[in-house]
Amino acid sequence: MTSSTLLPAPVEPATAEAVTAEPAAVPEPAVPEPAAREPRALVPDPQLVLADDLLTLLRTTTTEPRPDEQLEALTLAVAADLPVLLWGEPGIGKTAALTHLAATLDLPLTTVIASVHEPTDFSGLPIVGDDPEVRGVPMAPPKWAVELVRAGRGLLFLDELSTATPAVQAALLRVVLERRVGALQLPPGVRIVAAANPRASAADGWELSPPLANRFVHLYWVHDREVVVRGLGGTWPRAELPRLVPERLPDAVAYARTAVCGFLEARPTLIHRLPSTETRRGGAWPSPRSWEAALTLLAFGTAAGVSREVLALVVRGAVGDGPGLELLAHLDRMELPDPESLLADPAAADLPERGDLRQAALEAVVAAVGARPVRERWEAGWAVLVRALETGAPDLLVAPATALAGLRRDDWEVPEAVVRLTDVIGLSRRADRSVERVAAAKAAADARRAPVRR
């Protein structure tokens, strides 16, 4: 082995280019891009699909024309464009009734839970613009109010009103009466209906403030056994607006004005009467505002020909039970025929169909005869009773016939009309005595079966 083989090989000096040159880039190994994954379709569970189908079947119901006094009262007040407040226990069906009403009338339903909103949600939120000193600070309305204005019509449902704080109730005053939400005016096609639970059954409930309560027509919602049973079977009563007859409109307005004004002239103390208790102040009570609502409802009910029961619900809901019942009694007196007209032409006497009104008309005829007892008038009174026998129930004739017979003078001959009434009155009296005997026998039997106390 030579020495040249043990020494390393000589290294040549590097040039300037070799020193400054960057090392050659080593190419990175190519990594294959992942294949694009298509989104996996979400396949619902078959049992959930069946569950949805079953729920659809359960929620599919129909409606039918069916007499429902409280539903008729609600639609009458809605047609009259008066704010309505439905009172009822939880779960009684207030919300369901409003939902059904909106669907039937083809009105967009806007539900606002009053208790979860702030006062500014109804009075408007102040928004500072570019030049507040000149333009002022407008009160911006909430989104639900803007949508109602955009739609031009709808049903505004203020739910849980009795759980709203006094501050929220104060903010609702202009919404309910003037239909203003902040700086926004709701269109005439928007109806307002509210719902509330009594304070005892409301969640942290409050009594309604008197100013807010006096703006509503109060309807107390109760369940009807037949309506609930048939509804759960799939058929609910249909909510329909009252059928207004064009020819009746002028007479209906004149009748309502005459009735309310005549009643308040006779009972001026009922024009404004604020209840003494807090609970009653939160309901219906008489004021010029509520009497105007009663007049409107009376005109609508007369033009639509609604029943006296429906009319009683809305009138009492506007001014309260006591004043409302007094107004209804005044209406009954207005509808009674003039006794002098009946005595003048008994054969053509047009007597009321309602039993209580017919009884009052016959008693008025007897009183008129007693006020001026003349033989001709006495005989005409018997002719009126015969007319009543021909057109109505005979049991209503016993009391007026007995009273009219007591007005006879000794020299007056008994007219033939009395003969026609004798059998009817005799049968009625015998029937009354039979009922009394049966009742007396039952009472005696109950007394014998009663345990003896020692």
Q: What is the 3-state secondary structure (H, E, C) of 1-28?
A: CCHHHCCCCCCCCCCHHHHHCCCCCCCC
> What is the per-residue pLDDT for 257?
96
Instruction: Judge if pTM exceeds 0.75.
Output: no
pLDDT for the residue 432: 43
pLDDT in tens, 183-213: 889 999 999 999 998 876 666 678 889 999 9
What pLDDT is recorded for position 5? 41
User: Cα(369)–Cα(405) distance, rounded to whole angstroms?
Assistant: 11
CA distance 417 to 294: 44
Residue 118's pLDDT is what?
87
> What fold characterizes domain 63-126+137-237?
Rossmann fold (3.40.50)
- Tokens 């226990």 map to which residue? 89
pLDDT of residue 72: 93
- Is residue 396 a contact partner of residue 362, using CB atoms and an 8 Å limit? yes
CA distance 316 to 301: 13
> Residue 109, Cα to own-chain centre: how many angstroms?
16
Round to whole Å and give the CA distance between 291 and 77: 14
Contact 145, 182 (CB under 8 A): yes
- The one-letter amino acid code at 195 reads A
Measured distance CA(62)–CA(282) in Å, rounded: 36
Nearest alpha-carbon partner for 346 in 379, 400, 383? 383
Crossing angle of the two packed helices 308-319 and 321-335, in degrees rounded to 10: 140
* Per-residue pLDDT tens over the stretch 270-293: 999 999 888 899 999 999 999 999
- Give the chain's residues under pLDDT 70: 1-41, 128-137, 200-204, 423-454
The predicted structure's pLDDT at residue 316: 96
- Per-residue model confidence (pLDDT) at position 261: 95
Q: Are 170 and 161 in contact (CB under 8 A)?
A: no
**Cα 178 from chain centroid (whole Å):** 20
CB 195 within 8 A of CB 88: yes
Buried b (16+ CB within 10 A) or exposed e, 367-379: ebbeeeeeeebbb
Query: CB-based contacts of 3: which residues, under 8 Å, 6+ apart?
Result: none
- How far is residue 379 from each of residues 22, 382, 416, measured CA to CA in Å? 140, 5, 9
Task: Tally Cβ neighbours within 10 Å of residue 139.
Answer: 16
Instruction: Check residue 441 and give its pLDDT.
Output: 60
